[in-house]
Amino acid sequence: MLPGVTADQRLFAETAERFIRSTCPVSTVRRVAQQEVQLDVGYFTEIGELGWLALFVPEEHGGGSPSGHPVLDAGLIAEQRGRYLQPGGVVGSNVAALAITLGGTGEQRALLDDLAGGKALAAWALGDPVGGWEASAGVEVRRDGAGFVLSGTKGLVQDAHLAGWFLISAAVDGRPALFLLPGDAPGLSVEPLAGLDLTHRYAEVVLRDVAVPASAVVGQIGDGDLGERLLQVATVLTVAEMVGAIGALFAMTLEHARSRAAFGRVIGSFQAVKHQLADLSLAVECSHAIATGALTAVQEQAPDAGELASAAKAFVGDAAIDVSQGCLQLHGGIGYTWEHDLHLYLRRLATDRVVFGDPAWHRERICRLHGL
Amino acid sequence: MSGQAAEGQAAGGQAADGQATGRQTADGRTAGGQATGGQTAGGQTAGRQAAGRQAAGGQTAGEATGPGLDGYRREVRAWLAANLDPRDDDAPARLRGGDAANLSPERVAQQRDLQRRIYEGGYAGITWPAEFGGQGLTPAHEEVFAQESRGYVVADLGIAGLTTTRVCGPTILAHGTDEFRRTHIPRMLSGEEIWVQLFSEPGAGSDLAGVSTRATRTDADDWVLNGSKVWTSGAYYADYGLCLARTDPTVPKHRGLTWFGVPLTSDGVTIRPIREINGSSEFCEEFFDDVVVSDANRIGAVGDGWTVARTMMVFERLGGDPDEAPRHAGARELAPDLVALARRVGRQGDPVTRQLIARAHVIDVVKEQLDAYVAAQAESGTANPNLGSYSKLAAGTLNPVRASIGLEIAAAAGVAWHPQDTEASTTALNYLNGRILAIAGGTNEMQRNGISERILGLPREPAHDLDRPFNELRHN
Ligand SMILES: Cc1cc2nc3c(=O)[nH]c(=O)nc-3n(C[C@H](O)[C@H](O)[C@H](O)COP(=O)(O)OP(=O)(O)OC[C@H]3O[C@@H](n4cnc5c(N)ncnc54)[C@H](O)[C@@H]3O)c2cc1C
Ligand SMILES: Cc1cc2nc3c(=O)[nH]c(=O)nc-3n(C[C@H](O)[C@H](O)[C@H](O)COP(=O)(O)OP(=O)(O)OC[C@H]3O[C@@H](n4cnc5c(N)ncnc54)[C@H](O)[C@@H]3O)c2cc1C
């Protein structure tokens, strides 16, 4: 957990963990992944009641955060969600709520009550199908009278199949813009993708000449700061989920090394294994540290928030692969089985690494943020 | 290297976790530290700021604040303006490497004078106990001084300045007698005594408890030292060495050790510089031939050297990477050394180079964040004292990567240059220095042993040297 958490935050995180363990533990996540059961939609209203979706919503719409630091509170939830591979696009829904809170019209704000309570979920369609995460990626916007026509494809939208609303990033005359569209907007379709991660599902959001009124714009066209803020929040919350997953995967592996015997001793007594575990734990601690710094900077809207968020994604994205690979290695044959939970983590981490920008994309962004 | 002697006691007086019978596990070694010294800009990040930010758990940190600090800050500002010279930010950093890197006697004398001025002004040893010449103030006060003095030329006593205040001083504070501390600590703070680490020997490095330099009692109840030490950073301009010696070879190795403060001007001490791979001669070897050391210079009880060593190793690891001291109060820069390099070779627009620059930057940021994170945990008081091994291992594994990145960006220009072009030679120098922290102050492998056993709780290495008398063991 983050150093410096308050008692309220601790309680919030502990309550979240208790809820997950009793309602949606990894064994349940697995059964959903294997399509033996459907995810109970009640899950979302329950997490709505727990406040996970209300953190960026103002009080008059049923929102609020325990510590008054919504990014940090959301980070604590994200960490728990990552540890237990929780389903649902909570990051996307929170970011959409933040967008509406910061820039939504009166009509759009009416949606906040449902988003805060988990009665409606929103997804953020930012990237294109081939790894671009600029606002303009994948979508073209044509002006049509007072309104707009959107066409193109957004890719890798997390749990789009659960979303009733889409926040769509695009560019109008080369200037960044955000649109809020209902899932049933004519011409908008969600096309599910097959993929590596079994715990989230991803989809393309295809826009075929979708006619959009001016009232669907969130914030001002050309307000790059709003999009930047959303990217920072989405990035650090994704990083926080990854840190939770990395920590759980490492703990599982350490436990395995302590109990698995070979050559008359536990494998965790061999220096070759100990040294690998030490290196992996360094990656875990570094990930935790940089995530903490990035969450804090984004919370404070510090001048270096964008840079730290990107550095965190770049570092943790790479560490996720190293830790996944190292943990699989130390498990030996059992780690290569479907039945073992290890691959659920490995799959999710390799995917989260890409969502909202892979390390290479964030590294290039760091250069640009520094004017290089 | 900024070498602010006033930064003092990094580890805040925490002693190592007690057991006197440590094995050859977490044995850190010398802070030998100056890491990537040649790196003109290494990670000159906003580390302290980040530390404040994390510790404050969500409050903006920027400047240390608190009751009494504003007044203190005003005093510091006024004193600095009246007593020190402003720093010229464009002045080239002193390189670690080449003959010119060694400190001349004149330069050492100048820096001692400067340090004395800071000491007399009341800004040396800010967190150190007042009864031993420190100021007895809080880390927040020290932070204020560090922030405010960034724009001024402070004393730089080189690597041995750091071993004095980051390792030797704190260890002596923890284990020296009152008399010894009253005599030596003020001199360490004022620049009058420069202390180096006489730990490693030709026959024992990682296995610190395996040292064989002998100290035997004289009839007058003093000691006679015989043996040799090696890789001692900065010994050629130092006054004292903190020396680990064997006082009883007939008992198991961890039990026959004792520490001494050895005046390096004593009869029978020979110091010879050793040339390093980078061409400079910063570390030295020392020979002790019947050197008489007063019993008053013993630090800790006879035979209890390993307890002291455990404390010393915690300080040594926390001593960290001296080049990380931020030089600018402002924003973190994008790997300035590498950006300058890329511009020089005309590759700042090349996507591969940009990826490399950002990789280096992420290394700088993650080290800064990890150090802040470890420091924040240490401040909580309940943290495992071995957590410093993470910072040490991060530096030991990431510095070499960063140094190689420079070589990759520079390509041909990194391996051959016009004779007068010292700027071009820094990439190669950084490459040569990249592994310093992977070896000095406890190798990466020793950190991995320590982390796996003392933090992760995995079984210890089988030991063949714990219960038998030292003189029956195989050693070099
Ligand atoms: C795809 C696949 C196909 C396979 N096919 C076959 C097959 O056809 N027939 C068959 O008999 N087996 C097969 N195996 C099993 C394979 O040979 C074993 O998984 C492998 O030998 C490792 O043994 P283990 O799984 O028991 O892991 P463990 O022996 O428990 O090892 C776990 C970890 O500890 C490390 N470790 C163990 N001992 C030491 C030591 N002394 N020093 C340092 N590290 C140590 C290992 O390197 C590993 O990282 C297959 C495995 C896989 C993944
Ligand atoms: C630039 C520099 C400055 C230095 N400054 C000082 C100084 O000021 N004072 C001082 O006293 N010393 C100093 N040193 C010495 C330094 O502390 C030692 O070099 C270091 O502790 C390693 O010891 P060694 O060289 O004897 O190598 P060894 O201990 O012989 O190690 C050789 C290799 O074996 C590995 N190894 C050894 N034991 C184990 C084990 N149990 N498990 C796994 N691997 C193991 C090591 O990790 C290393 O890779 C300095 C060294 C350098 C490079």
User: Containing H/E element for A52?
Assistant: none
Within 10 A of A86 (CB to CB), how many other CB atoms are there? Answer: 27
Q: Of B241, B232, B238, which Cα lies nearest the Cα of B282?
A: B232
pLDDT of residue B353: 98
Work out the angle between the directed axes of helices B351-379 and A305-331 (0-180°, nearest 10).
Answer: 80
pLDDT tens track for A47-74:
999 999 999 999 999 999 999 999 999 9
- Note whether A292 contacts B451, CB cutoff 8 Å: no
List CB contacts of B241: < 8 A, sequence separation 6 or more.
Answer: B195, B196, B197, B198, B229, B232, B235, B261, B262, B264, B286
**How far, in Å, CA of A102 to CA of A330, rounded?**
47
Q: Ligand 1 centroid to A332 CA: how many Å?
A: 5
* Structure tokens, B193: 């005594």
Within 10 A of B127 (CB to CB), how many other CB atoms are there? Answer: 21
Could you tell me if A292 and B373 are in contact, meaning their C-beta atoms sit under 8 angstroms apart? yes
SS (H, E, C) A181-207: EECCCCCEEEEECCCCCCCCCEEEEEE
**What is the number of alpha carbons within 13 Å of residue B425 lying toward its C-beta?**
11
Taking contacts as CB-CB distances below 8 angstroms, the residues of chain B near A308 are: 365
- Note whether A279 contacts B397, CB cutoff 8 Å: yes
Within 10 A of B447 (CB to CB), how many other CB atoms are there? Answer: 31
Would you kindly state where each structural domain of chain B is located, as residue ranges? 329-455
Domain covering A122-218, topology: Butyryl-CoA Dehydrogenase, subunit A; domain 2 (2.40.110)
Ligand at shortest distance from the CA of A257: 1
Could you tell me if B157 and B233 are in contact, meaning their C-beta atoms sit under 8 angstroms apart? no
Residue B223 main-chain phi, psi, to 5 deg: -130, 150
Distances in Å between the alpha carbon of B345 and those of A370, B49, B89, B357?
A: 19, 33, 24, 13
**How far, in Å, CA of B222 to CA of B362, rounded?**
53
Q: What is the pTM of this model?
A: 0.91
Could you tell me if A76 and A5 are in contact, meaning their C-beta atoms sit under 8 angstroms apart? yes
Q: Which amino acid is at B242?
A: L
- Note whether B370 contacts A266, CB cutoff 8 Å: no
Region A240-249: mean pLDDT is 98
Taking contacts as CB-CB distances below 8 angstroms, the residues of chain B near A300 are: 53, 58, 60
**What is the number of alpha carbons within 13 Å of residue B467 lying toward its C-beta?**
3
Catalytic residue check, B316: yes
- Note whether A290 contacts B58, CB cutoff 8 Å: no
**How far, in Å, CA of B131 to CA of B136, rounded?**
8
Q: Of A88, A119, A324, A118, which Cα lies nearest the Cα of A201?
A: A88
Could you tell me if B153 and B205 are in contact, meaning their C-beta atoms sit under 8 angstroms apart? no
Class level of CATH domain A224-369: mainly alpha
Q: Going residue by residue through chain B, which has 476 residues, state the pLDDT in tens, using 9 for 90 and above.
A: 333 333 233 333 333 333 332 223 333 333 333 322 233 222 323 333 333 344 333 333 344 556 689 999 999 999 999 999 998 876 655 566 766 678 999 999 999 999 999 999 999 999 999 999 999 999 899 999 999 999 999 999 999 999 999 999 999 999 999 999 999 999 999 999 999 999 999 999 999 999 999 999 999 999 999 999 999 999 999 999 999 999 999 999 999 999 999 999 999 999 999 999 999 999 999 999 999 999 999 999 999 999 999 999 988 887 655 554 443 445 689 999 999 999 999 999 999 999 999 999 999 999 999 999 998 888 777 888 899 999 999 999 999 999 999 999 999 999 999 998 888 899 999 999 999 999 999 999 999 999 999 999 999 998 888 889 999 998 87
Chosen from A1, A363, A365, A368 to mutate, greatest number of chain B CBs within 10 A? A363
Taking the CA of residue B377 and the nearest CA in chain A, the distance in Å comes to 7
* Structure tokens, B260: 């001494």
Q: Which amino acid is at B183?
A: T
Within 10 A of B463 (CB to CB), how many other CB atoms are there? Answer: 10
What is the dotted CATH code of the domain comprising B329-455? Answer: 1.20.140.10
- Closest residue (by CA) to atom 53 of ligand 1? A333
pLDDT tens track for A291-323:
999 999 999 999 999 999 999 999 999 999 999
- Note whether B452 contacts A277, CB cutoff 8 Å: yes
Taking contacts as CB-CB distances below 8 angstroms, the residues of chain A near B456 are: 254, 274, 277-278, 281
Distances in Å between the alpha carbon of B269 and those of B30, B188, B226, B287, B294?
A: 20, 21, 10, 6, 15
| SS3 call for A276 | helix
Q: Of B57, B334, B452, which has the smallest distance from its Cβ to A372's Cβ?
A: B334
- Note whether A364 contacts B354, CB cutoff 8 Å: yes
Q: Where do the H-state alpha helices sit in chain A?
A: 7-23, 26-33, 42-50, 70-83, 90-103, 106-109, 112-117, 224-259, 271-300, 305-331, 342-352, 359-369
Ligand at shortest distance from the CA of B207: 2
Element counts in chain B: helices (H) and strands (E)? 15, 8
SS (H, E, C) A81-146: HHHCCCCCCHHHHHHHHHHHHHHCCHHHHCCHHHHHHCCCCEEEECCCCCCCCCCCCCEEEEEECC
Give the β-pairing of B195-198 and A217-218: unpaired
- Note whether B459 contacts A254, CB cutoff 8 Å: no
DSSP one-letter code for A22: H
Could you tell me if B340 and B357 are in contact, meaning their C-beta atoms sit under 8 angstroms apart? no
**How far, in Å, CA of A249 to CA of A243, rounded?**
10
Q: Of A2, A271, A308, which has the smallest distance from its Cβ to B461's Cβ?
A: A271
Would you kindly state where each structural domain of chain A is located, as residue ranges? 7-117, 122-218, 224-369
> CA A62, A65, A69: angle at the middle one, nearest 5?
145
Identify the closest residue of chain B to A360 by CA–CA distance.
B355
Could you tell me if A149 and A211 are in contact, meaning their C-beta atoms sit under 8 angstroms apart? yes
- What CATH architecture applies to the domain A7-117? Orthogonal Bundle (1.10)
Taking the CA of residue B380 and the nearest CA in chain A, the distance in Å comes to 9
Mean pLDDT, chain A, as a whole number?
A: 97
> Ligand 2 within 6 A of B213 CB?
no
DSSP one-letter code for B472: G
Q: Which amino acid is at B149?
A: S
Taking contacts as CB-CB distances below 8 angstroms, the residues of chain A near B370 are: 285-286, 289-290
Taking contacts as CB-CB distances below 8 angstroms, the residues of chain B near A288 are: 373
**How far, in Å, CA of A355 to CA of A349, rounded?**
10
Taking contacts as CB-CB distances below 8 angstroms, the residues of chain B near A314 are: 358-359, 362
pLDDT of residue B26: 33
Taking the CA of residue A305 and the nearest CA in chain B, the distance in Å comes to 11
- Note whether A307 contacts B333, CB cutoff 8 Å: no
Ligand at shortest distance from the CA of B244: 2
Q: Ligand 1 centroid to A333 CA: how many Å?
A: 5
A50 touches chain B (CB under 8 A): no
Q: State the catalytic residue, choosing from B7, B201, B316, B368.
A: B316
Q: Of A3, A265, A315, which has the smallest distance from its Cβ to B377's Cβ?
A: A3
| SS3 call for B124 | coil
**How far, in Å, CA of B386 to CA of B283, rounded?**
27
Q: What number does the ligand 2 atom closest to the CA of B229 have?
A: 11
User: Is the pLDDT reported for residue A364 higher than 60?
Assistant: yes
Could you tell me if B224 and B191 are in contact, meaning their C-beta atoms sit under 8 angstroms apart? no
Ligand at shortest distance from the CA of B202: 2
Banded pLDDT at A228 (limits 50, 70, 90): very high
> Ligand 1 within 6 A of A333 CB?
yes
* Structure tokens, A154: 């957004």
DSSP one-letter code for B474: -
Length of chain A: 372
Q: Which amino acid is at A320?
A: A
Taking the CA of residue B315 and the nearest CA in chain A, the distance in Å comes to 20
- Note whether B354 contacts A367, CB cutoff 8 Å: yes
Interfacial A residues in 245-284 facing B (CB < 8 Å):
254, 257-258, 265-266, 268-269, 271, 274-275, 277-279, 281-282
> Ligand 2 within 6 A of B226 CB?
no
> Ligand 2 within 6 A of B445 CB?
yes
pLDDT tens track for A134-175:
999 999 999 999 999 999 999 999 999 999 999 999 999 999
**How far, in Å, CA of A325 to CA of A323, rounded?**
5
